Structure 1
Amino acid sequence: MKYIISIIGLLIVIGLALLASNNRKKVNYKPIILMIVIQIVLAALLLNTKFGLVLIKGIAEIFTKLLEYAGEGISFVFGGIANKGEAPFFLNVLLPIVFISVLIGIFQYLRILPLIMKGIGLLLSKINGMGKLESYNAVASAMVGQSEVFITVKKQLNHLPPHRLYTLCASAMSTVSMSIVGAYMTMIEPKYVVTALVINLFGGFIISSIINPYKVDSDEDILEIQEEKQSFFEMLGEYILDGFKVAIIVGAMLIGFVALIAAINNVFDLIFGISFQQILGYIFSPVAFIMGIPWADAVKAGGIMATKLVTNEFVAMIDLTKIQSSFSSRTIGIISVFLVSFANFSSIGIIAGAVKGLSEKQGNTVARFGLKLLYGATLVSILSAIIVSFVL
């Protein structure tokens, strides 16, 4: 029965993407089917095999060690602020982003990261039937983040038509940056974070290929990576500050969103006898159900999904940790994979602002298709959750 629901869910997601398609006749289904098969194989490999278990355990241990190193710096600066035995969210979850950001900067400076991103991007372009630039951008988004990625392709930005720009922005919103992965792993199981990272990459291409189908001519598909010339210590200073800015911004957004949701829930509870999140849960429960979540868990899961969409993934992950004991392991796996992406309303402004900082004209173009961008990225999250439901 679970496979039937997952297949129906898969068809519904493809149907919803076709509804928003610019040109249904141009959709090339061959690479789409191939990428769906690859997603299922990769999800099964990561979640259901000894190899996957060893790989994820290794990645989790690396991030655990990195968080320990980050903890040394945090303890030196903030030691004594926290009560013994307590684990403040800002100190233990957000501030390690600073150290991981520094590591990304070092790998970028040593030209290791650009080489990996370009290599994987070229390989992906052979599978997805899209341009080299689009494939590189998807990998780069997962490495350096949804804002920073546009700096690496700023030479091409002004020359990109709206349809190619949409695909670049869709990839940025559908993935998550490596600097934040460690923070996610403190709230949800590492195996679901790693699985989501991998299959979201293909999910972004699948949904973009349906909503925004096009073919790139070889003479238009020149891949040049913009690299800023800096000294080593200039780079260190920049990435340290960038990491701290991300931590502060996420922290500020959490304060605002968590407080706002608490206030709205209280008002709805007083007036209607039901919280705002419960109402959203009922609205999103059919989506949760087609993702393979049992109907008994669908309303609560739907509330978490809606919270992620209207606030951000951090708020939703915090909510999940509070009620996950009432969920089955299958539900936790599916909802965890759904949460690992930047698909929320605030990301529209973040991406449009990042592009506008490099090209005002293109930034305005992104703002115009912002809602369609969020629609596509949300479908990517739903698709990834459905793919995982096949193997759990």
Structure 2
Amino acid sequence: CKEQSQTIKYIVYGILSCGYVAYFIAACVLNFQRAIALVVLNCLAVFFIIYDLVKRYKGDSLKRCFRPVERCFRGNVRWLKWKCAHRVFLVVVLALLVTWLAVDTSKRPEQLISFGGICLFLLLIYIFSVHREAVSWRAVFWGLGLQFVIGLFVIRTEPGLTAFKWLGDQVQIFLNYTIAGSSFVFGNDLVTQAFAFQALPIIVFFSSVMSVLYYLGIMQWIIIKIAWIMQITMGTSPTETLSVAGNIFVGQTEAPLLIRPYLQEMTKSEIHAVMTGGFATIAGSVMGAYISFGIDAASLISASVMAAPCALGLAKLSYPETCKTKFKTKDQIKVDSSGEQNILEAASNGASASIALVANIAANLIAFLAILDFINAALKWLGGMVGYPEITFEMICSYVFMPVTFMMGIPYEESFVAAELIGTKLFLNEFLAYERLSKLKNNRLNGLPPVSDSERQWISVRSETICTYALCGFANFTSLGIMIGGLSSICPSRRGDISKTVMRALFTGTCASLVNACIAGIKVETHTLNVDFLSPVLCCSAINNGTAVHFTGSWSNVMNATLYFTSCCDLYNNTMCF
């Protein structure tokens, strides 16, 4: 009976496989451009299947084949130690970096300011380091190196730009399916008009999807592979590396659950690294909400990925390891699988688990916006006593954090607005900061003038991108309680160590986000519009002369299309079009 059922199962699998292959070929033949996404997904699936099969059946044989080479390398090249070869390697890399910066910034000197910002933030962390003599420079430079390489690929190469733009577009399309559920529950009017019914349901949907991916084992596999790359390059312990890698996808209290059984025996430096990773990144669920604001999805995804190695490297600079870790190899660490019985239970549990997060976000927004309004009213009242009623919390932040945003590479005239965003993120939360950034972006897209009544209404695309990277993290004072409470509930015996190091982790996580923004500032280019034909000039002339302009084709359905072309005219008249 077992043999027959096994035979039937193989037959069913064979029929389904043949049917899918036929479908795949037909899709590619009919319209290959339309089937690119399907081709990419299939290539990834085939690669992972082949990798797992080779590892399962030929992994030991391949290890035995390469063992003589490994012994020969270790026996004859003993001089290749960190203290000599790695220092030579470091000098070569730094020389190449300086050369590249000199060539690249010759046309864009503002990028040098961002490089100076990186040096400044690293110097600050080093000055306040616990054990400066014990700093593992391998972890620091490899962390920054991985961050730099990822940023270079994403921002400055055509394949990277295309890949992450495509990925961001797919994520945005995927998240738009939330409208089907939220419209049915709340109605179309509420979904399109009210923030709570537009952005917060995305968190429920994304949490449910993440739970399904955990049930299927996909998320654990991705996290383990990312952690493996970081561990072999940076030389960090598998526990802290796994938690920081998990922070790319899950929140500051969910990622430590991956290493829950090992928290009790982890060193203070490792616990500090775990908290720093939580502060320096954002969860995938809230990322969906930020994308719904209109924040660039590709920048958010790349910022979260880049922040992980940077956070781990800076954590080892701020709180170096002085104790011997008990976890040296990844074989000592086991990631628990999901406890659900089937995929439907996983989806349901994921949606239910998001209720607390959604309620927490809504409650915090209500409280913090009310507190902010009260603080501004109090400051205006106090300022009015001395003839300065314009003072607000945002204005104070703009002056306090202006040097920080300027060192990130934002132009002086826009650095005050960016400083308001940094202050809002640090003292309140990143949700409010991204919401404010989305308003600035919408003002730019709607063609509003840059300055109105001495108040800046929007910032440049380059500054928007830098701010997107700088705000990508949970590092704010309101997250301190969440971090202490979350980790202490997982491991009550380490509450004292968690409380002692959490402020340092907050500082380090903030610096990691700022360094991330500086990397973006070095690589982001300010593009100009190249115009070599007459039609935009004629269109501008028609608009300026008050002639009614009618749009056809895809532009006929675009709201405020005239404003877009008016902005183009402004660019043309300001000699930014060549």
Offset of 1:40 from its aligned partner? Answer: 2.5
Offset of 1:197 from its aligned partner? Answer: 1.0
Report the Cα distance in structure 1 between the residues aligned to 2:152 and 2:193, rounded to whole angstroms: 34
Q: Which amino acid aligns with 1:259?
A: A
Q: 1:234 to 1:25 in 2, by over 3 A?
A: same
Offset of 1:357 from its aligned partner? Answer: 1.3
What per-residue deviation string (whole Å, max 9, x for no partner) do you get for residues 240-291 of structure 1? 1112221221111111112211221222123212111101110010111111
Report the Cα distance in structure 1 between the residues aligned to 2:268 and 2:323, rounded to whole angstroms: 13
What are the within-5 Å matches in structure 2 for residues 301-320 of structure 1?
A: 301-320=418-437
Q: Which amino acid aligns with 2:255?
A: V
| Residue 350 (structure 2) pairs with residue 244 (structure 1) | no
Q: 1:14 to 1:80 in 2, by over 3 A?
A: closer
Offset of 1:81 from its aligned partner? Answer: 5.3
| Residue 217 (structure 2) pairs with residue 100 (structure 1) | no
Aligned to 1:373: 505
The SS at the match of 1:142 is: coil
| Residue 342 (structure 2) pairs with residue 225 (structure 1) | no
The answer to whether the 8 A contact 1:47-1:191 is kept is: no
Match of 1:213 among 315, 320, 325: 320
Q: Which amino acid aligns with 2:478?
A: S
Q: 1:243 to 1:255 in 2, by over 3 A?
A: same
Aligned to 2:531: none
Q: Which amino acid aligns with 1:181?
A: M
Aligned to 1:67: 175
Aligned to 1:141: 247
Identity %: 24
Offset of 1:389 from its aligned partner? Answer: 0.6
What per-residue deviation string (whole Å, max 9, x for no partner) do you get for residues 183-213 of structure 1? 1112211122022112111210121120011
TM norm structure 1: 0.94
Q: Which amino acid aligns with 2:315?
A: S
Aligned to 2:227: 121
Q: Which amino acid aligns with 1:69?
A: Y
Structure 1 stretches of at least 4 aligned residues deviating more than 4 Å after TM superposition: 215-219
The SS at the match of 1:144 is: coil
Report the Cα distance in structure 2 between the residues aligned to 1:55 and 1:294, rounded to whole angstroms: 29
Q: 1:35 to 1:147 in 2, by over 3 A?
A: closer
Report the Cα distance in structure 2 between the residues aligned to 1:49 and 1:181, rounded to whole angstroms: 24
Q: 1:266 to 1:322 in 2, by over 3 A?
A: farther
What are the within-5 Å matches in structure 2 for residues 164-243 of structure 1?
A: 164-187=270-293, 188-214=295-321, 220-221=327-328, 222-227=332-337, 229-232=339-342, 233-243=344-354
Offset of 1:234 from its aligned partner? Answer: 4.2
Q: Which amino acid aligns with 1:291?
A: M
Aligned to 2:263: 157
Report the Cα distance in structure 1 between the residues aligned to 2:128 and 2:501, rounded to whole angstroms: 12
What per-residue deviation string (whole Å, max 9, x for no partner) do you get for residues 93-143 of structure 1? 111111111111111111121122112211210122211111111111222
Report the Cα distance in structure 2 between the residues aligned to 1:321 and 1:110, rounded to whole angstroms: 35
The answer to whether the 8 A contact 1:66-1:100 is kept is: no
Q: 1:390 to 1:170 in 2, by over 3 A?
A: same
The answer to whether the 8 A contact 1:40-1:391 is kept is: no
Report the Cα distance in structure 1 between the residues aligned to 2:178 and 2:115, rounded to whole angstroms: 43
Q: Which amino acid aligns with 1:125?
A: Q
Between structure 1 and structure 2, the one with the greater Rg is 2
The answer to whether the 8 A contact 2:113-2:407 is kept is: yes
Match of 2:190 among 82, 104, 108: 82
What per-residue deviation string (whole Å, max 9, x for no partner) do you get for residues 137-162 of structure 1? 11112222211122221111111122
What are the within-5 Å matches in structure 2 for residues 270-309 of structure 1?
A: 270-272=381-383, 273=389, 274-309=391-426
| Residue 482 (structure 2) pairs with residue 350 (structure 1) | yes
Report the Cα distance in structure 2 between the residues aligned to 1:80 and 1:87, rounded to whole angstroms: 9
The answer to whether the 8 A contact 1:151-1:226 is kept is: no
What are the within-5 Å matches in structure 2 for residues 31-42 of structure 1?
A: 31-42=139-150
Report the Cα distance in structure 2 between the residues aligned to 1:80 and 1:112, rounded to whole angstroms: 34
Aligned to 1:337: 469
**More deviation, 258-267/283-292:** 258-267
Q: 1:368 to 1:28 in 2, by over 3 A?
A: closer
What per-residue deviation string (whole Å, max 9, x for no partner) do you get for residues 62-117 of structure 1? 2223222211111111115528xx43211221111111111111111111211221
Aligned to 2:522: 390
Report the Cα distance in structure 2 between the residues aligned to 1:149 and 1:321, rounded to whole angstroms: 28
Q: Which amino acid aligns with 2:229?
A: L
Q: Which amino acid aligns with 1:322?
A: K
Q: 1:207 to 1:223 in 2, by over 3 A?
A: same
**More deviation, 117-126/259-268:** 259-268
TM norm structure 2: 0.65
Match of 1:322 among 439, 445, 454: 439
Offset of 1:388 from its aligned partner? Answer: 0.6
The SS at the match of 2:176 is: helix
Aligned to 1:110: 216
Offset of 1:58 from its aligned partner? Answer: 2.2
Q: Which amino acid aligns with 1:199?
A: M
Q: Which amino acid aligns with 1:223?
A: I
Report the Cα distance in structure 1 between the residues aligned to 2:375 and 2:319, rounded to whole angstroms: 37
Q: 1:71 to 1:269 in 2, by over 3 A?
A: same
Report the Cα distance in structure 1 between the residues aligned to 2:517 and 2:397, rounded to whole angstroms: 19
Offset of 1:35 from its aligned partner? Answer: 3.1
The answer to whether the 8 A contact 2:239-2:327 is kept is: no
Report the Cα distance in structure 1 between the residues aligned to 2:339 and 2:145, rounded to whole angstroms: 41
Offset of 1:219 from its aligned partner? Answer: 5.2
Q: Which amino acid aligns with 1:240?
A: A
Q: 1:92 to 1:22 in 2, by over 3 A?
A: same
Report the Cα distance in structure 1 between the residues aligned to 2:181 and 2:323, rounded to whole angstroms: 47
**For the aligned residues, what is the CA RMSD?**
1.9
Aligned to 1:4: 112
Q: Which amino acid aligns with 1:302?
A: A
**More deviation, 267-276/285-294:** 267-276
**More deviation, 4-13/209-218:** 209-218
Report the Cα distance in structure 1 between the residues aligned to 2:367 and 2:341, rounded to whole angstroms: 37
